[in-house]
């Protein structure tokens, strides 16, 4: 039941944003009535579709597992409350750490809300240094859903969107752990994963990206272990991840490399990405990574890597260290079992290092401003692999 609700939350978020996009393409003005009607149609489709999903047969829960799951739910609630702090959304604070909200995600959401649509030609005129007009528009559209429904732009509601998507990811993680672990172990594991799903960057695209991408990866891992029912949902979530940030497109490529046997089944996500890239090119939305002479820039930036990364940790360094040590306790077996997740992590990190190598900006500033945040995109996957490795070490009699 919770698993189904989590999938509906994740897919419903994408569908709600898609309704706004469709209204825009059909030149239907955004208001509570038009969006409400669209959401009602989506709800009917989701209701019919969810009836087709097999019920999650995870059996009854022990009191200990229920208690731990309640603690995790309290953390999700606490995350939403933490995201309501006025300081996060106060324009007068001008915090460097909040730039991406005011310059990119919140700005676009506000722009679309004020214009009752997506002003594509205006986006093209924005400078790329901080506004990033080439980024996909799913997150601003998602932020606009409550704004259009209530006819007021209250960014504090974005914290609840973040928390709902993060909570849904935790339910998916619990379900995937439950395939291999007892209810109490799965509940404890999910509690440990809470920080990897509930990211502190409220109003940024990283929270939704992790929710969509990590859910997709965990469901594909599940499909690779024989649960074919998960694959269709995973492909849809991969598409949503790709429409969240450019890193989501890289994530799709990483998944294709890590699971070559599934490439043919992932074509719907490839079609969505292809469609977006064609639309982006046809609208001349500028992108910055490939501008100017590349080779001298790469040579210069790579030489700066040691100083750039010297004082910047990954997101949740304790979790990374603990997970890697746990995997190293029985490296051959753990690497074999978690080959898919670990390959995705490795390729995704290579993409990020490649982007830093090509950045036209000061590489030290770029790394300082983003490494902790973008390393959070794969923290859930490495932590998940760590948890299953810990369980294997505790079970092992050798």
Partner 1 sequence: MKIPVIRLAMMWTRRLLAVACFLALLWGGVRPVLAPFWRGGSHFPTIAERLRSERSELRCFAEGVFERTPQRAAILFLVPSDDSDGGLVNHRLRYVLPGRQIVTSGDAPFIATWHRPPSSGRVIWTGCGGTLVQR
Binding of partner 1 at residue 67 (CB under 8 A)?
no
End-to-end CA, the chain: 38
Stretch that binds partner 1, among 29-37, 335-343, 357-365, 384-392 (CB under 8 A): 384-392
Among 283, 302, 329, 333, binds partner 1 (CB under 8 A): 329
Asked whether 83 and 156 are in contact (CB, 8 A), the reply is: yes
| Of residues 110 and 265, the one with the C-beta less far from partner 1 | 110
Query: Which 291-310 positions form the footprint of partner 1 (CB under 8 A)?
Result: none
| Minimum distance from residue 99 beta carbon to partner 1 (Å) | 8
Binding of partner 1 at residue 183 (CB under 8 A)?
no
Query: Which 308-327 positions form the footprint of partner 1 (CB under 8 A)?
Result: 316-319, 321-323, 325-326
Among 45, 67, 70, 95, binds partner 1 (CB under 8 A): 95
Binding of partner 1 at residue 75 (CB under 8 A)?
yes
| Of residues 142 and 223, the one with the C-beta less far from partner 1 | 142
Among 51, 59, 63, 87, binds partner 1 (CB under 8 A): 87
Binding of partner 1 at residue 118 (CB under 8 A)?
no
| Minimum distance from residue 301 beta carbon to partner 1 (Å) | 22
Stretch that binds partner 1, among 18-26, 114-122, 176-184, 266-274 (CB under 8 A): 114-122
Binding of partner 1 at residue 92 (CB under 8 A)?
yes
Report the 10 Å Cβ neighbour count for 290. Answer: 8
Binding mask 198-237 toward partner 1 (x if CB under 8 A, else -) reads x-x-------------------------------------
Round to whole Å and give the CA distance between 344 and 137: 24
- Which residues, other chains included, contact 292 with Cβ-Cβ below 8 Å and sequence gap of 6+? 360
| Of residues 127 and 268, the one with the C-beta less far from partner 1 | 127
Asked whether 263 and 87 are in contact (CB, 8 A), the reply is: no
Residue ranges binding partner 1 (CB under 8 A): 75, 78-79, 82, 85, 87-88, 90-95, 99, 102-103, 106-107, 110-111, 113-115, 119, 122, 125-126, 130-131, 188, 191-196, 198, 200, 316-319, 321-323, 325-326, 329-330, 383, 386-387, 389-390, 393-394, 396-398
């Amino acid at each position: 039941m919770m698993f189904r609700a989590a999938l509906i939350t994740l897919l419903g978020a994408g569908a709600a944003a898609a309704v706004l996009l469709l209204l825009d393409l059909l030149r239907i003005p955004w208001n509570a009535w038009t969006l409400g009607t669209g959401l009602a149609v989506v709800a009917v489709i989701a209701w019919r579709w969810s009836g087709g999903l097999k019920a999650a047969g995870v059996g009854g829960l022990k009191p200990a597992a229920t208690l731990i799951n309640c603690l995790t739910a309290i953390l999700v609630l606490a995350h939403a409350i933490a995201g309501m702090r006025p300081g996060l959304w106060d324009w007068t604070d001008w915090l460097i750490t909040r730039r991406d909200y005011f310059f990119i995600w919140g700005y676009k959401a506000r722009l679309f809300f004020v214009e009752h649509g997506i002003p594509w030609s205006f986006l093209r005129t924005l400078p790329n240094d901080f506004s990033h007009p080439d980024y996909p528009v799913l997150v601003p559209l998602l932020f606009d859903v409550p704004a259009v429904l209530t006819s007021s732009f209250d960014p504090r509601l974005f914290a609840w969107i973040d928390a709902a998507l993060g909570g849904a990811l935790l339910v998916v993680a619990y379900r995937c752990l439950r395939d291999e672990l007892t209810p109490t172990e799965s509940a404890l594991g999910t509690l440990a994963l809470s920080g990897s799903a509930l990211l502190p960057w409220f109003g940024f695209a990283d929270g939704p990206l992790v929710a969509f991408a990590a859910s997709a990866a965990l469901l594909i891992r599940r499909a690779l272990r024989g649960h074919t029912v998960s694959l269709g949902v995973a492909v849809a979530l991969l598409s949503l991840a790709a429409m969240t940030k450019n890193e989501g497109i890289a994530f799709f490529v990483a998944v294709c490399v890590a699971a070559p046997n599934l490439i043919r089944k992932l074509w719907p996500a490839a079609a969505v990405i292809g469609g977006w890239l064609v639309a982006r090119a046809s609208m001349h939305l500028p992108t910055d990574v490939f501008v100017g002479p590349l080779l001298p820039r790469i040579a210069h930036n790579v030489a700066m890597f040691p100083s750039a990364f010297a004082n910047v940790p990954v997101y949740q360094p304790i979790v990374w260290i603990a997970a890697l040590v746990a995997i190293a306790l029985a490296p051959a077996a753990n690497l074999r079992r978690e080959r898919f997740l670990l390959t995705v992590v490795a390729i995704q990190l290579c993409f990020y290092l490649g982007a830093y190598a090509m950045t036209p900006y000061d590489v030290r500033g770029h790394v300082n401003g983003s490494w902790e945040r973008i390393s959070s995109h794969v923290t859930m996957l490495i932590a998940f692999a760590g948890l299953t490795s810990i369980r294997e070490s505790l079970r092992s009699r050798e």
